[in-house]
Amino acid sequence: MLGFVILLWLIQVASALFSLELVRYGVYPREMSGLRGILFAPLIHGSFAHIFSNTLPLLVMGTAMLLGYPRSSKFVFPVIYFGVGLMVWLFGRESFHVGASGINFGLLTFVFVVGALRWDKKAIALSCLVFFMYGSMIWGIFPAEPGVSFESHFFGAVIGVLCALIFRDRDAKPPEKRYDWEDETEEPDDYFDDDNPTIH
């Protein structure tokens, strides 16, 4: 995930240095030229403030997914990445949509819901981590601030939940720690012997 974030920053710095108009490569709903945004939109940000707001959540939640669910992540990340763009192209407002925030919402709901479904200690810990750090993000699925693609947030969150339902069992649960006293078999009480009622 660090490599992906570095790539985002390299693109943003290059865009600023060379005055590149990269926003036009974002998703533009229901226009054939806007289909390219399914591939490029998550890599493009409108400003440094925009990319700053996405950087730490990507690192935290992306790392949580990779460490907690390494097998699932090979499928979940591409599904969220391309799924958000496709759904925005189909149903979004007629405007350019750019940024990785849709991925963040997908990672948030995936890690949180998987923790609730699997209910092992590691999954619960990761679920609590992302919820307490970024749970308030969920309000971003509602239209509030002009110029913000709430559609990306909404579809990212929905796709994350669906991925959690589909891929929740792809990674094996960690073995439960057992204590010595749990493995001890109960020994019969031989304090009294029915055949020989002698007190031992």
- Read off the tokens for 71: 């097998």
Main-chain phi, psi angles of 192, to 5 degrees: -115, 135
Tell me, what's the pLDDT at 103? Answer: 97
User: Model's pTM, two decimal places?
Assistant: 0.84
Tell me, what's the pLDDT at 182? Answer: 53
Residue ranges of domains in the chain, CATH in brackets = 2-171 (1.20.1540.10)
Contact 39, 85 (CB under 8 A): yes
pLDDT digits (tens, 9 = 90+) for 115-165: 999 988 989 999 999 989 998 888 888 887 778 899 999 999 999 999 999
Mean pLDDT of the chain, nearest integer: 89
pLDDT digits (tens, 9 = 90+) for 31-44: 999 999 999 999 99
Rounded to whole angstroms, the maximal C-alpha distance in the chain is 98
- Read off the tokens for 46: 């409108």
